[in-house]
Amino acid sequence: MFLLFPAGDGKRVEIVELGRGRPLRALAGALEARGIVSSARLFTLYARLKGGDSRVKAGTYQFSDGMRPGEILMKMVTGDVYQRLFALPEGYSSHQVAEMLEKRGIFGKEQFLLACRDQGLLAELGVTANSAEGYLCPGSYNILPGRTEREVVREMVLRQQALLDAGLGRQGKAKGLSANDLLTLASMVEKEAVLPAEKPLIAAVFHNRLRLGMRLQSDPTALYGVRAFAGKVSRDDILRPSPYNTYLIPALPPGPIGNPGREAIEAVLNPPNVPYLYFVGRGDGSHQFSSDLPSHNAAVRRYLRTPSVASPGGAR
């Protein structure tokens, strides 16, 4: 009877950790205590008879009381571990990441942002910036129950540092770019680009403007700290005082405006030799690039129907 019927009706769901070296009988006791199996003794005996006690794999598992003992054992033997995957998109700011985590019910927004600004954690990781902005590596993460905001921020930062340590950081230094400058430029490229193929061209525009002492005039920088960039800025946006607003400051922002991926970083390190100084969005995700102001103004008149509102790619 024990093998044929589950302990409950499937409404109880529990997350259980099977650590390396932990005996199966200890796990069976935890399963009984949480109402997943009706008898720890019988479950342990069953597992031994099946030879599963020596084949179970360590990990975090999700069980319900609607599972039969055979299903529970099979889950652990095959290593069907519980996953709570979270994807950090390229270019997203720390605020956007925090909002996503809160909507998923993983962390509270403010708690995650506090971890991103934790000076002790940043110092431990060798990050000299005021926050982890730019240092959170885009990608997929398995955020299991019990993990803290600090632990997840640490993992994200370590992944980004591993990317830089793999050679990208050295390339940046060879080009006179600190890690902060490299990630700042890459974050701007990431925010401006819609098409991956245009990232190197946008990076080239920024490099050319910096070399000539021109203001970068990048739309996303005018919105950083105000709201997420969605492709449009107003005249009030570009005139709003901010240390990040490259319409007003004559250099790079003090830090990244988002978290760039590898492609954007590589685009900053290896921009093509093109004469472009301007770009404007065509409205379909692509950009029109120009080498001189008259050509750029003509492109603006062609592609922007409302003169007071810019589209993606605001170097003007």
Q: Residue 309: what pLDDT?
A: 37
231 belongs to a structural domain: yes
Among 6-10, 63-67, 115-119, 236-240, the range of highest mean pLDDT:
115-119
7 belongs to a structural domain: no
285 belongs to a structural domain: yes
| Residues 187, 297 within the same domain | yes
Say yes or no to pLDDT of 311 above 80: no
Contact assessment for residue 32 and residue 59, using Cβ atoms and an 8 Å cutoff: no
Residue ending a domain, among 30, 54, 77, is 77
Per DSSP, the residues of 20-66 read TT--HHHHHHHHHHTTSSS-HHHHHHHHHHTT-TTT---EEEEEETT
| Residues 265, 191 within the same domain | yes
> How do residues 198-252 score in pLDDT, each as one tens digit?
999 999 999 999 999 999 999 999 988 877 776 677 787 788 899 999 999 998 9
| Residues 51, 118 within the same domain | no
Say yes or no to pLDDT of 8 above 50: yes
Residue ending a domain, among 22, 47, 77, is 77
315 belongs to a structural domain: no
| Residues 288, 206 within the same domain | yes
pLDDT more than 90, % of the chain? 58
Instruction: Name the nearest CA neighbour of 313 among 179, 157, 190.
Output: 190
Contact assessment for residue 152 and residue 114, using Cβ atoms and an 8 Å cutoff: no
> What value does the mean pLDDT take over residues 9-14?
87
> How do residues 27-64 score in pLDDT, each as one tens digit?
889 899 989 998 989 999 988 888 877 888 888 888 99
Residue 311, CA distances (Å) to 185, 198, 219, 280, 299 in order: 19, 15, 8, 7, 12
Q: Residue 26: what pLDDT?
A: 86
Per DSSP, the residues of 183-227 read HHHHHHHHHH-SSGGGHHHHHHHHHHHHHHT-----HHHHHTTTS
Contact assessment for residue 209 and residue 216, using Cβ atoms and an 8 Å cutoff: yes
| Residues 284, 203 within the same domain | yes
258 belongs to a structural domain: yes
| Residues 185, 250 within the same domain | yes
- pTM: predicted TM-score of the whole model, two decimal places: 0.80
CA angle 114, 118, 120 (to 5 degrees): 160
Q: Is residue 305 very low, low, confident or very high in pLDDT (cuts 50, 70, 90)?
A: low
Q: How far apart are the C-alpha atoms of 71 and 145, rounded to whole Å?
A: 22
Q: Residue 101: what pLDDT?
A: 96
| Residues 215, 239 within the same domain | yes
Q: How far apart are the C-alpha atoms of 302 and 288, rounded to whole Å?
A: 10
Q: Is residue 23 very low, low, confident or very high in pLDDT (cuts 50, 70, 90)?
A: confident
Q: How far apart are the C-alpha atoms of 268 and 189, rounded to whole Å?
A: 8
| Residues 186, 256 within the same domain | yes
| Residues 187, 265 within the same domain | yes
138 belongs to a structural domain: yes
Instruction: Name the nearest CA neighbour of 232 among 314, 140, 315.
Output: 314
Residue ending a domain, among 131, 150, 169, is 169
| Residues 161, 184 within the same domain | no
Range of 123's domain?
85-169
Say yes or no to pLDDT of 306 above 70: no
pLDDT more than 70, % of the chain? 95
Per DSSP, the residues of 79-106 read T-----EEEE-TT--HHHHHHHHHHTTS
Q: Residue 184: what pLDDT?
A: 96
Q: How many domains does the chain have?
A: 3
Q: Residue 56: what pLDDT?
A: 86
**DSSP tag of 166:** I
Q: Residue 316: what pLDDT?
A: 52
> How do residues 160-206 score in pLDDT, each as one tens digit?
999 988 878 788 887 888 999 999 999 999 999 999 999 999 999 99
| Residues 240, 294 within the same domain | yes
Could you give the maximum distance between any two Cα atoms of the chain, in Å?
84
| Residues 238, 143 within the same domain | no
267 belongs to a structural domain: yes
308 belongs to a structural domain: no
Query: What CATH number does the domain containing 41 carry?
Result: 3.30.1490.480
